Structure 1
Amino acid sequence: MELISFFSTIFISCVIISMTIFSVYIGFGPSSSKLRDPFEEHED
């Protein structure tokens, strides 16, 4: 039972870390210049 909980903890941790790294890459990577800022578009 300990082995299953250990591997599931490692798996969930890897998924969370990879989603975080992917989000940072999308936000600040080379394709970030194509993203639009809705707050700048509706500034008064």
Structure 2
Amino acid sequence: MMEPATVLSISLAAVLIAITGWTVYTSFGPPAKELRDPFEEHED
């Protein structure tokens, strides 16, 4: 059995990697086509 500090460190790292992966997927993957660009909407 691993120490609690090791389990906590691995869990925290996994959560951070998952959040980072989700934000990259949302920013550059297929869902990015639904994002709007407010600067492009308000150009004169």
TM range (shorter): 0.7 to 0.9
Q: Secondary structure at the match of 1:40?
A: helix
TM (norm. structure 2) is 0.82
Alpha-carbon separation, structure 2, partners of 1:39 and 1:16: 30
- Structure 2, unmatched stretches of 5+, are none
Aligned residue-pair number: 43
* Percentage identity across paired residues of the two chains: 44
In terms of fraction of residues, the more helix-rich structure is 1
TM (norm. structure 1) is 0.82
- Structure 1, unmatched stretches of 5+, are none
RMSD: 1.5
Runs of 4+ in 1 over 2 A off after TM superposition: none
